[in-house]
């Protein structure tokens, strides 16, 4: 299908979510320039406010010139244009392409209000390159689904309205109406994977299969449908497996699923918790080390940004835990303590209450320490071992190291937040007390 303003408007109207404002991601190149120009023509039919954003990466000598060009073009079309400068991490061994993309989307997200729509100009050739890149990386269904036409970007939307058009179709239309755009010389640098595929691999494939771009786009569409079905199944399985808290999965039910469904629900669960996904090898470790482990063991699988642990009949997912406090770590405070105390894990808050909490006078000094082993606690008429109390409370072992213990000036353990208050320190019905809570 050749590109035309009327064809574009018909498909765009069908896919665009309701919004009050469109943001065009405008680099100044052919694709984004055509998108900007087309939307400017359609402005009478578009009720939402139309704006452009240009990301200044600072990676090319011409970057300032490009930013000025984009501002001039937008001014001529009476479209407000934001120029956002970003710092791109260029560290050794890191993907410059990926880092630039991350910086770009983070900068755009800062400008967005809920339900704003960001429009980017990726086309069918870009989609084909993405599918091939993901295939070469060994990606699964989610990766091969490539770029969706419409997806969430935080509380806003990201829409790619040109995915059904090839670059040649866009080029022919742009030349026909006399558009002028920026040519980024870095797009010819085959050191970058995408450029290598674009200039070295795709031309060979197109000689044999002229419609290869459309074929790869169709692959992405089929994989997107398959991924949607996988998500539906994962959601159903998670509802059956989820424990009392979102970060828990009940192992007996999880273990009853097939291996494929276990992998599927684990990925869905971790993504829902906002954790980075483990590699395929790390995901397999979760099965070999956690799911099949003995119930009294305490295995853990860690990766950058996340970890999964087992305790009894549950597995738990969490961000990487901080360093365990050593014996010398302590915090001192004096009542009243108006601001929460930040701890290695979580925070400690102090609230004055009536008829409950710790019966302490204003000005009392407290010392907050952490378990080292051997602590005892006078509670309900007996001298209790703190370790046993935490076990009875079914607090997972890895959390016990971070539980703050409240001591008075006489070095007496008077409270374990969220557990109990030592005998002789509980406020009576007519007394003012202090409620100390640990949130993590």
Alpha-carbon distance of 405 to 394, in angstroms, equals: 17
89 pLDDT higher than 80: no
**Mean pLDDT along residues 233-248:** 95
Same domain assignment for residues 108 and 190: yes
Q: Is residue 262 part of a domain?
A: yes
Say whether 19 sits in a helix, a strand or coil. coil
Q: Is residue 228 part of a domain?
A: no
pLDDT at 91: 59
Same domain assignment for residues 271 and 192: no
pLDDT at 327: 73
Q: Is residue 179 part of a domain?
A: yes
pLDDT at 292: 77
Worst-scoring range by mean pLDDT, 12-16, 323-327, 353-357, 370-374? 323-327
Spell out the SS3 assignment of 94-120.
CCHHHHHHHHHHHHHHCCCCCCCEEEC
Q: What is the CATH number of the domain that holds 267?
A: 1.20.59.20
Q: Is residue 226 part of a domain?
A: no
Same domain assignment for residues 110 and 146: yes
Q: Which two tokens stand for residue 222?
A: 């089929």
Q: Which domain holds residue 257?
A: 242-318
Residue where a domain terminates, one of 267, 293, 318 = 318
Helix (H) or strand (E) holding 48: none
DSSP 259: H
Same domain assignment for residues 251 and 380: no
What is the maximal distance between C-alpha atoms in the chain?
A: 90
291 pLDDT higher than 90: no
Same domain assignment for residues 205 and 335: no
Q: What is the pLDDT of residues 310-340, one digit of tens each?
A: 988 899 999 999 998 887 788 888 888 888 8
Q: Which two tokens stand for residue 365?
A: 């000094």
228 pLDDT higher than 90: yes
Q: What is the CATH number of the domain that holds 32?
A: 3.40.50.620
Same domain assignment for residues 155 and 78: yes
92 pLDDT higher than 60: no
**Mean pLDDT along residues 128-149:** 92
Contacts (Cβ under 8 Å, ≥6 apart) of 280:
138
Same domain assignment for residues 176 and 89: yes
Model-level pTM? Answer: 0.78
Contacts made by residues 287-296, CB under 8 angstroms, sequence distance 24+:
287/259, 287/262, 290/315, 291/251, 291/254, 291/255, 291/262, 291/315
146 pLDDT higher than 60: yes
User: How many structural domains compose the chain?
Assistant: 3
Based on DSSP, count helices (H) and strands (E) in the chain, helices before strands.
15, 20
Q: Is the preceding peptide bond at 368 cis, omega within 30 degrees of 0? A: no
Q: What is the pLDDT of residues 359-403, one digit of tens each?
A: 988 888 999 999 888 899 999 999 999 999 998 988 899 999 999
- Residues linked to residue 438 through DSSP beta bridges, in sequence order: 348
Same domain assignment for residues 344 and 297: no
Same domain assignment for residues 174 and 255: no
């Amino acid at each position: 299908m050749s590109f035309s303003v009327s064809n574009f408007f018909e498909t765009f109207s069908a896919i665009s979510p309701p919004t009050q404002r469109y943001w065009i991601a405008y680099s100044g190149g052919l694709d984004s320039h055509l998108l900007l120009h087309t939307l400017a023509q359609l402005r009478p039919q578009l009720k939402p406010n139309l704006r452009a954003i240009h990301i200044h990466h600072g990676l090319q000598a011409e970057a300032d010139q490009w930013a000025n060009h984009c501002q001039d073009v937008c001014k001529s079309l009476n479209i407000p244009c934001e120029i956002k400068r970003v710092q791109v991490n260029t560290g050794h061994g890191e993907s410059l392409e990926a880092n630039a993309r991350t910086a770009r989307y983070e900068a755009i997200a800062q400008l967005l209000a809920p339900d704003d729509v960001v429009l980017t100009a990726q086309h069918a050739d870009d989609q084909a390159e993405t599918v091939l890149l993901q295939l070469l990386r060994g990606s699964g269904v989610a990766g091969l689904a490539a770029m969706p036409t419409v997806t969430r970007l935080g509380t806003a939307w990201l829409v790619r309205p040109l995915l059904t058009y090839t670059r040649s179709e866009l080029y022919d239309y742009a030349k026909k109406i006399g558009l002028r755009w920026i040519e980024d010389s870095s797009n010819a640098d085959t050191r970058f994977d995408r450029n290598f595929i674009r200039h070295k691999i795709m031309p060979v494939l197109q000689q044999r299969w002229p419609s290869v771009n459309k074929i790869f786009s169709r692959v992405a569409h089929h994989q997107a449908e398959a991924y949607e079905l996988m998500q539906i199944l994962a959601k159903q399985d998670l509802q059956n497996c989820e424990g009392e808290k979102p970060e828990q999965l009940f192992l007996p039910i999880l273990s009853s699923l097939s291996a494929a469904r276990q992998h599927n629900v684990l990925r869905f669960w971790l993504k829902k918790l906002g954790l980075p996904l483990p590699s395929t090898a790390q995901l397999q470790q979760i099965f070999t080390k956690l799911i099949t482990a003995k119930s009294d063991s305490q295995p853990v699988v860690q990766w950058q940004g996340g970890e999964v642990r087992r305790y009894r009949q549950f597995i738990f997912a969490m961000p990487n835990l901080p360093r365990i406090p050593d014996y010398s770590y302590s915090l001192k405070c004096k009542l009243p303590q108006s601001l929460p105390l930040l701890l290695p894990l979580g925070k400690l808050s102090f609230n004055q209450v009536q008829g409950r909490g710790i019966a302490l006078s204003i000005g009392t000094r407290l010392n907050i320490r952490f378990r080292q082993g051997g602590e005892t606690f006078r509670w309900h008429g007996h001298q209790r071992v703190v370790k046993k109390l935490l076990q009875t409370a079914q607090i997972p072992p890895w959390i016990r190291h971070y539980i703050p213990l409240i001591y008075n000036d006489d070095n007496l353990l008077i409270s374990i937040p969220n557990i109990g208050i030592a005998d002789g320190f509980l406020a009576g019905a007519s007394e003012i007390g202090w409620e100390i809570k640990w949130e993590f």
